[in-house]
Amino acid sequence: TVSGFKLAKAEAEASFGDDRILVEKFIDNPRHIEIQLLGDSHGNYVYLNERECSIQRRNQKVIEEAPSTFIDPDTRRAMGEQAIQLARAVGYQSAGTVEFLVDSQKNFYFLEMNTRLQVEHPISECITGVDLVEQMIRVAAGQKLSLTQD
């Protein structure tokens, strides 16, 4: 491990003139899970069930599974609550997707937030019965979301 670290620093120095390196956490058996959410200007936020998009080819999603067979209700709730905390912290108002990597022990790690309606949104609409486009239009018009988390 120490020799690999020294080798990586030397390669960074030789390639970039800077020996600083970033060490990332290893995530065993990763799953790519995204949480669909909605927020409005009245402080209302909801998360919808997740979509699992772990099966990819050349960084393109091949299969979306919703809800994920891997995620249990407690993990789903924790991920959804964290997604809403993020959206609330930045004052996000619309439909969005928060993406996470999840390890074999169901620990989850933030990847990114897509601040738009993704092409996969009909999957969430199908399993929840929520018309995401309608909700986006309501939010854009300054109205409240027509649904709550409960």
Task: From 74, 66, 2, select the one nearest 34 (Cα to Cα).
Answer: 66
Per-residue confidence at 103, pLDDT binned at 50, 70, 90? very high
* pLDDT mean over 13-42: 94
pLDDT at 28: 94
Contacts of 56 (CB under 8 A, 6+ apart): 32, 62
pTM of the model: 0.86
Q: 82 exposed, middle or buried (CB, 10 Å; 0-12, 13-18, 19+)?
A: middle
Catalytic, out of 20, 51, 116, 138: 116
pLDDT at 87: 97
- Told to judge if 116 belongs to the known catalytic residues of this protein, a careful annotator would answer yes
Percent of the residues in the chain that have a pLDDT greater than 90, as a whole number: 81
Note whether 123 and 51 are within 8 A (CB). Answer: yes
